[in-house]
Chain A
Amino acid sequence: EVQLVQSGAEVKKPGESLKISCKGSGYLFTTSWIGWVRQVPGKGLEWMGIIYPADSDTRYSPSFQGQVTISADKSINTAYLQWSSLKASDTAMYYCARQPARHYGMDVWGQGTTVTVSS
């Protein structure tokens, strides 16, 4: 079974750093892109960026460029989303999802990681 399993919920204080993960299984991890999507409670989906684990080619939405870092470790089939200094406005659900090809859609989704940033 193809699946993406994300790391657990996080509660952090403003200014703290954080790295969440997304581990793929059931398919060849290096042959698909992995994207990250934010969903603020009660709001819509926001595309943050995407990485190709085979060579770490990474693209960011202009809205998130410089705010987060996307990375991957193909040796352990895992993609990451990290923040160096969290803000309260980063409180959201974060999903990773597989994109098999450039013009396809996101066909397999992780279960989501809730990030709460509060003092």
Chain B
Amino acid sequence: DIQMTQSPSSVSASVGDRVTITCRASQGISSWLAWYQQKPGKAPRLLIYAASSLQSGVPLRFSGSGSGTEFTLTISSLQPEDFATYYCQQANSFLALTFGGGTKVEIK
């Protein structure tokens, strides 16, 4: 299996802050990485696919970058509705489309 490691596991930030979350793959996955947002009691929501492509309807303050084994999700100016847990998922190997452990973005 390809292992996905996210860091940090949690981050405290204020409205307006720039937040960056990192996801590392245990082996190269080209650009086949997705990012999701999940709020308590809700299903996840796709934010980014193919490492840097913004899913339709997702605000432009979200962006993704990276390739190979290291990827980042950046929220350029944190808004109140962005406090949630974020997950990465590798989409390279259909043997197991593994998720990262999650990063909780909390209010400072």
Contacts and interface: CB of A to CB of B under 8 A. Distances in A.
Interface residues of A, number: 23
A92 B4 CA distance: 22
Contact of A44 (B48, B55, B87): B87
B34 A105 contact: yes
Contact of A47 (B43, B55, B97): B97
A45 B50 contact: no
Contacts of B55: 105, 107
A61 B89 CA distance: 13
A45 B102 contact: yes
B50 A103 contact: yes
Interface string A95-119: 1010000111111011110000000
A62 B96 contact: yes
Nearest to B1: A62
Contacts of B89: 45, 47, 105-106
B11 interface: no
A37 B1 CA distance: 16
Interface class of chain A by DSSP: loop
A59 interface: yes
Given A103-B32, A105-B34, A107-B55, A46 B44 contact: no
Nearest to B98: A47
Interface in B37-86: 38, 43-46, 48-50, 55
A23 to B, nearest CB: 15
Contacts of B49: 104-105, 107
A44 B98 CA distance: 11
Contact of B43 (A46, A50, A112): A112
Given A47-B98, A102-B91, A109-B43, 13 more contacts: A44-B101, A45-B36, A47-B97, A50-B97, A61-B95, A102-B94, A103-B50, A104-B91, A105-B48, A105-B89, A106-B36, A106-B89, A109-B45
Interface of B: 1, 32, 34-36, 38, 43-46, 48-50, 55, 87, 89, 91-92, 94-102
